[in-house]
Amino acid sequence: MDRRILLNNIAVPGIRTFEVFRSTGGYLSVMKALKEMTPDDVIEEVKKSGLRGRGGAGFPAGMKWSFLDKKSNKPRYLICNADESEPGTFKDRFLMEKIPHLLIEGMICSCYALGAETGYIYVRGEFKYIVGILNEAIREAYQNGLLGKNILGTSINLDIHVHSGAGAYICGEETALIESLEGKRGNPRIKPPFPAVVGLYGSPTVVNNVETLCNIGFIVNQGGSEFARYGVGKSTGTKLISACGNINNPGVYEIEFGLSVREFLYSEKYCGGIKNGKELKAVIAGGSSVPILPANLILKTAAGEERMLSYESLAEGGFVSGTMLGSGGFIVFDEDACIVRNTWNLTRFYHHESCGQCSPCREGTGWMENVLHRIENGLGKARDIDLLVSIAAKIEGNTICPLGDAAAWPVASAIRHFRHEFEEHVLHPESCKNSAIRQLDNVQIRRLENV
């Protein structure tokens, strides 16, 4: 259960440079794909591999590729979604920073398979220093004939451009990303049509996550069936998990699907247990937008089985007793953490990041933040808890893009599993160790009451 695909050579000194990357077997897949395989062969291998999108939704990558409109005579585009902004997720940053050529390699193979002559890497605005790293890697690839006209002497042309966002979470949503790339306001588009038919500049476009594309090199080299031998069930391959919170060893770990959550949390090889020997209270398993689970439900499913890190196992029990793998941002809370304060913090984020296009999300996220702010500051009322449940339920599923859902799930799940804590906050706000109310003086409290 500790085989790796992506981070095998991460410890090799200088792996960021072309020569070292090449000497560890890098870019072999490009030669294999361009010289020995047809584009359809590559797509077939990706389908066989069962590779699922690593950005959060887990949609099969091969299937996404096959939706690309083949009849259109417009140019096709591949966009790499490197707008990683989910709180708790920092795996793509790690990949691009440490081993950027892995992404370029995957993009060349993918563009070949899709027939795209232009690829874009849309990098999150805050990752300014990564733009330089990527541009350097691209420059090296051009220099060695892996990008540009007639790659490796074939008739294949490919250009890859790096585009920096301006720091909006919403631009990680694929259609908002496309709008932003076109130079417009980053509002998500209404689907259908999907980007595979009408995407960037009205052309067929595929948008894939960094980690997804990084896996393509391995699939081309070793074959899809070899890739499918990693992992468990329909969760094939490995996954980068970015672990943070109250644990001894926060960081990015590559795990093979099927690793148990218990082992991941407590093994010295991974998180190394809860900091300061405290008890586990709750985990957000896949980035801030997935439902939070209390300790008993994250370690074992409601049916009593051992919970594993895989798409299926984490989702077991639906939203009543399960969660989602999401983008792999593993946030751990110890016994001292305040769920109310944390939930308020998350809603604050979604309120700030809502694009404001459609009404439930625009108004609902701010409303939830206000109510949670009140509860956190000791001015909550008993009916506020049900009000929150009701607002979350009305946002969920009624918005243009998934940001509405992402804002509603943390609130709904926190109240589902930790309702007593919310009630405690309403009845005895001063009893919470972490409560903001303890940090406010009387003047500030009075000011809040007057709002």
Partner 1 sequence: MFKVTIDNHTIEVEEGTTILQAARMIGGIVVPPAMCYYSKLKESGGKCRTCLVKVAQGSARDPRPLPKLVASCRTPVADGMVVQNITSQEVIETRKAIVEFLLINHPLDCPVCDQAGECDLQDLSYDNGKEESRFEEAKRSFRVIDIGDKIQLHMNRCILCYRCVYTADQLTDKRSHGILYRGDVSEISTYIQTDVTNDFSGNMIDVCPVGALTDKTFRFKNRVWFLNPMNANRSCSKCSGKVTAWMRGGEVYRITGRKDQFGEVEEFICNECRFEKKELSDWTIEGPRNIKRASVISQNHYEKSKKPSVILPLENRTVSLDEFKNGSNNEIQL
User: Any contact of residue 319 with partner 1 (CB under 8 A)?
Assistant: no
CB of 152 to partner 1, least distance (A): 43
User: Any contact of residue 398 with partner 1 (CB under 8 A)?
Assistant: yes
Angle at CA 419, nearest 5°, toward 401 and 362? 25
User: Any contact of residue 74 with partner 1 (CB under 8 A)?
Assistant: no
Residue 31, token pair as written in the block: 């030669």
User: Any contact of residue 234 with partner 1 (CB under 8 A)?
Assistant: no
Residue 305 identity: E
Q: Kind and range of the H or E element at 436?
A: none
Burial 68-78 (b: 16+ CB within 10 A, else e): bbeeeeeebbb
Residue 308, token pair as written in the block: 């594993």
Candidates 46, 123, 285, 400: give the one binding partner 1 (CB under 8 A): 400
CB of 362 to partner 1, least distance (A): 5
Interface segment toward partner 1; rule CB under 8 A; list 123-131, 311-319, 350-358, 436-444: 350-358
Say how far apart CA 96 and CA 107 lie, in whole Å: 13
Say how far apart CA 92 and CA 114 lie, in whole Å: 22
Q: Which residue lies nearer to partner 1 by CB, 28 or 437?
A: 437
Residue 284, token pair as written in the block: 């957000």
Dihedral (C-alpha) 73, 75, 78, 83: value to the nearest 10 degrees?
-120
Interface segment toward partner 1; rule CB under 8 A; list 146-154, 258-266, 271-279, 352-360: 352-360
User: Any contact of residue 345 with partner 1 (CB under 8 A)?
Assistant: no
E runs forming strands in 2-127: 77-82, 118-123
Interface segment toward partner 1; rule CB under 8 A; list 252-260, 285-293, 318-326, 358-366: 358-366
CB of 179 to partner 1, least distance (A): 12
Q: Are 273 and 247 in contact (CB under 8 A)?
A: yes
Q: Which residue lies nearer to partner 1 by CB, 327 or 365?
A: 365
User: Any contact of residue 185 with partner 1 (CB under 8 A)?
Assistant: yes
* Among candidate residues 150, 156, 184, the one with its CA nearest the CA of residue 170: 184
Angle at CA 74, nearest 5°, toward 170 and 189? 20
Q: Which residue lies nearer to partner 1 by CB, 12 or 393?
A: 393
User: Any contact of residue 164 with partner 1 (CB under 8 A)?
Assistant: no
Residue 294, helix vs strand vs coil: strand
Q: Which residue lies nearer to partner 1 by CB, 215 or 343?
A: 343
Number of residues located near partner 1, criterion CB under 8 A: 30
User: Any contact of residue 365 with partner 1 (CB under 8 A)?
Assistant: yes
State the sign of the Cα–Cα–Cα–Cα dihedral 259, 262, 267, 270: positive
Q: Which residue lies nearer to partner 1 by CB, 25 or 356?
A: 356
Residue numbers of the site for partner 1 (CB under 8 A)? Answer: 168, 170, 185, 190, 351-360, 362-367, 370-371, 374, 387, 394, 397-400, 451
